[in-house]
Structure 1
Amino acid sequence: MARYHLPTIYYYKPNGSSDFFDTGRLKEALSKILVPFYPIAGRLGYDENGRLEIICNAEGVLFVEAETTSVMEHLIGFQHTLGDGTAALHFISSWVNTSRGLSPTIAPFIDRTPIRARDPPAPKFHHVENDPSPVLKFASKSQSNDHKPSIVSTFKLTADQLNTLKAKANVANANCGIKYISFNILVAHIWRCVSKARVSPPIKIPSCVFQLMVDINWILLSHKATSAISAPDYSEKMSDLNTLVTGPRTFRCPNLPVVSWIWLPKYEADFRWVRSIYMGPGNVVHEGKIYILPSPVNDESLSLVTRLEIPHMKAFEKLLYEF
């Protein structure tokens, strides 16, 4: 579980309406929608056993109205401990509907009873996804504590570039007998580029290594149902839940988490004015994390938002477009 605050930013272009960006209406709608979504207005705390919990104390949320000469017009933050991207967009969508005088399309399901650990806990297997990453053989002794300067950058891949990448990947993997979907090809390409950018001399990568990655992915999916049942039991038996918390050690070099926002309804937040012209993360908290975002104009292009160490970012930018 990730424990950090994830800001998301929405850009809106003025449409000439006299009530454009009416903050009074926004606040009124927010106060209404927080009733069914009451955990969002809670506070993180710890119970008597030291376990993290959401304290629902009816204290509300902070709403800040500010003016700026920049082009930023709407900033929303979401605590990742509370939910994932789907949950965050569900709340935003419900807020939008309330602002427009409509009822939320889908009511939030707050009851956590179905996903609680069994009594007594009975994990089915050891959850290797919670084990610490192995130490690299070529890593220096100080690597684990070596926090090097990093930078956030955004890169755009057009529809033509994505089609070219897909065509070349399928030709290169013709002997494997499988044609891969665009998303898997893009993630494999990103992984290759980041790996080459991070390692000197570059790693020699076999032409069909992608087969292994895809097979592992399907193996994980096949155990998804069993894992969903076993995971709460596994965490319930842990004496120190902090060992399960993801943080910089699980994200930064040599790790590479890739998060897809392609299928999220990112640009549907229309508070009676107009659709947002951009929505994305306000920051990439950890080095080595990449977000894949869809185009706001439906031109089939994609954008990559990532944080990498400064020298790695320069090499990654060069390698990304070499295909």
Structure 2
Amino acid sequence: MVTILDTHIVIPKEDTPKGLLHLSDNDQLWRWSHTPSIYVYKPKQNNKKLNLSVLLERMRDSLSEILIHYYPLTGRLNWTNGGRLELDCNAKGALLLEAESSKSMAEYDDFLPHNPSINELIPTVDYSRPINELPLLLAQVTKLKGNDDDGSYFAVGVAMSHPLADGISAIRFINAWAKLTRGATLDPANDLPFLDRTNLKPSHPLNPPRFDHAEFKPLPLILGRTNNLEEQKKKTTFALLKLNSKDVQKLKKNANTNTTVYGSENGNDRIHDQSERPYSRFEVIGAHIWRSASKARRLQESQPTVVKFNGNIRSRLQPPLPHNYFGNALAPTVTTICSVKEITTQPLSFVAQKIREAVKKVSDHEYVKSQIDYVAGFEGRWDLIRTPYLEKGKYRADVPFFGNPNIILGSWMSMPLYEADFGFGKPFYIGPGRVCPYDRAVIALAPNDDDDNGGGDVVIFMHFQEEHMKDFINFFWEDIPSK
């Protein structure tokens, strides 16, 4: 059981700009709820006896200071008459909770999101309240019960409004907050945000789409179905999969050395082109996940399936966005439609190539600009393309759903996840705060892995329909080459 000891409304330490701050059309795409995450710490040897009150005072003071720069997080959202979200920078504050748990570390089951106890470590957002009353940033610091010889552990649970920040922005903020808390000096070029979102404004006048934006069209349904309502209602569960560097290299070798004929175009057989750059970890591991999922679901061989994911477009635009752009700078993309038979029987290079083709689309400045204009055309009809926030028991057939027979991929491999040191060392666990309501896999570097160029250990946060998870895990490990 977790007891809330104190609650603090934290506002910026200095006066900050007031009034409406433009939210881009890209910010309108995502669910309007908060993204939950959890950081778990085991204090260093000389800091074992953790004084929670001292830590909270330090974190509250540094939060007030960092919010001078990240002041949008202290504002509130509103709905316009057209269903658009707007941000009022009114400095009403972020919420910081001080808590203590009576549970042992073992009762948290490695902090995996399928354990209901994890919800106690993350601030709860009451979505029954009007949206303009909801804090956009909530954090909870919980002292955990450790073994007598281990001293105290603590967890930092964070809930951040998705319309304000994508994962890259959220990680940058949390790392900067931690840096201030431990007494380090901020680097303006890396730790402070670029807040002007007008760089992502559409063309004026609005240009018609220059590409076929399949990423915003309905995804394949299970054959014989007219909607995905039945799949939306199925329970998903969670698994944490760990690939060591040798397993990663085996998959990469399999995909990058396979020269088997893998398809036909206009009647001509095609062979994997070895002159192209090798398939990346994301392309190869994503292909392996797609294949394992397609096998586990045991659908018809002719069943259409796709993978959808988001690309970071900060460096894709011309001119590029600043790397410290704070907001949503993600471009959705989707693979071409494949059959389950293709995904499960063709070489891994075939599947990786499909993911590469989707990556290439959102690596093209013209495609991204066309997508921005396409999204702007949905003004007043955002629900048709916005990632939904599905309240328990409420399902809609006319909103996006990314589960069976399809899957969502995500990559955190470029994010400095484990840099959030609040003065007691780096976290030993970081993960999502709840089980996703559809099938999703997020690929991240394992802790203490500084090798961003290949060869490192990888963890996969896997959300999958409960009835298929066991088979998925079996196929996932069985299909890794022995050499």
Query: Secondary structure, in 3 states, of the residue corresponding to 2:96?
Result: coil
The verdict on how the C-alpha distance between 1:34 and 1:70 changes in structure 2, with shifts beyond 3 A counting, is: farther
- Listed as ranges, the matches of 1:99-110 within 5 Å are 99=181, 100-105=183-188, 106=190, 107-110=192-195
Post-superposition shift, 1:316? 0.5
Query: Secondary structure, in 3 states, of the residue corresponding to 1:291?
Result: strand
Aligned equivalents of 1:233 and 1:140: distance in 2? 32
Query: Secondary structure, in 3 states, of the residue corresponding to 2:157?
Result: strand
Post-superposition shift, 1:153? 1.3
Q: Does 1:321 pair with 2:477?
A: yes
The verdict on how the C-alpha distance between 1:270 and 1:311 changes in structure 2, with shifts beyond 3 A counting, is: same
Given candidates 247, 252, 258, the residue that maps to 1:161 is 247
The answer to whether the 8 A contact 2:83-2:381 is kept is no
The answer to whether the 8 A contact 2:287-2:355 is kept is no
Query: Which amino acid in structure 2 is aligned with residue 102 of structure 1?
Result: T
Q: Deviations along 1:208-229, whole A, 9 cap, x unmatched?
A: 523641552354145x312333
* The 10-residue stretch of structure 1 (124-133 or 311-320) with the greater mean CA deviation from structure 2: 124-133
Query: Which amino acid in structure 2 is aligned with residue 313 of structure 1?
Result: M
Query: Which amino acid in structure 2 is aligned with residue 9 of structure 1?
Result: I
The verdict on how the C-alpha distance between 1:215 and 1:279 changes in structure 2, with shifts beyond 3 A counting, is: closer
Aligned equivalents of 2:166 and 2:248: distance in 1? 27
Given candidates 155, 160, 167, the residue that maps to 1:85 is 167
Aligned equivalents of 1:157 and 1:39: distance in 2? 38
Given candidates 368, 373, 378, the residue that maps to 1:233 is 373
Give the TM-score normalised by structure 2. 0.61
Q: Deviations along 1:231-289, whole A, 9 cap, x unmatched?
A: 33333332412112023733211221111111100001111221111212122323211
Match of residue 97 from structure 1: 179
Q: Which has the higher helix share?
A: 1
With a CA cutoff of 8 Å and minimum separation of 6, indicate the structure with the bigger relative contact order. Answer: 1
- Listed as ranges, the matches of 1:16-35 within 5 Å are 16-17=46-47, 22-35=55-68
Query: Which amino acid in structure 1 is aligned with residue 40 of structure 2?
Result: Y
Aligned equivalents of 1:47 and 1:143: distance in 2? 29
The verdict on how the C-alpha distance between 1:73 and 1:255 changes in structure 2, with shifts beyond 3 A counting, is: same
Aligned equivalents of 1:228 and 1:143: distance in 2? 28
Post-superposition shift, 1:154? 1.0
The verdict on how the C-alpha distance between 1:221 and 1:115 changes in structure 2, with shifts beyond 3 A counting, is: closer
Aligned equivalents of 1:269 and 1:87: distance in 2? 14
Query: Secondary structure, in 3 states, of the residue corresponding to 1:293?
Result: strand
Aligned equivalents of 1:284 and 1:109: distance in 2? 31
Aligned equivalents of 2:215 and 2:80: distance in 1? 26
The verdict on how the C-alpha distance between 1:211 and 1:280 changes in structure 2, with shifts beyond 3 A counting, is: closer
Query: Which amino acid in structure 2 is aligned with residue 263 of structure 1?
Result: S
Given candidates 21, 39, 44, the residue that maps to 2:72 is 39
Match of residue 135 from structure 1: 221
Match of residue 351 from structure 2: 210
- Listed as ranges, the matches of 1:291-306 within 5 Å are 291-298=442-449, 300-306=456-462
Aligned equivalents of 1:83 and 1:55: distance in 2? 15
Aligned equivalents of 2:208 and 2:60: distance in 1? 44
Aligned residues: 321
Sequence identity, in percent?
A: 31
The answer to whether the 8 A contact 2:228-2:401 is kept is no
Q: Which runs of 5+ in 2 are unaligned?
A: 1-28, 106-153, 261-270, 302-339, 391-399, 451-455
Match of residue 384 from structure 2: 243
**CA RMSD after TM alignment:** 2.4
The verdict on how the C-alpha distance between 1:173 and 1:218 changes in structure 2, with shifts beyond 3 A counting, is: farther
* The 10-residue stretch of structure 1 (294-303 or 183-192) with the greater mean CA deviation from structure 2: 294-303
Aligned equivalents of 2:449 and 2:369: distance in 1? 38
Query: Which amino acid in structure 1 is aligned with residue 252 of structure 2?
Result: K
The answer to whether the 8 A contact 1:252-1:288 is kept is yes
Give the TM-score normalised by structure 1. 0.89
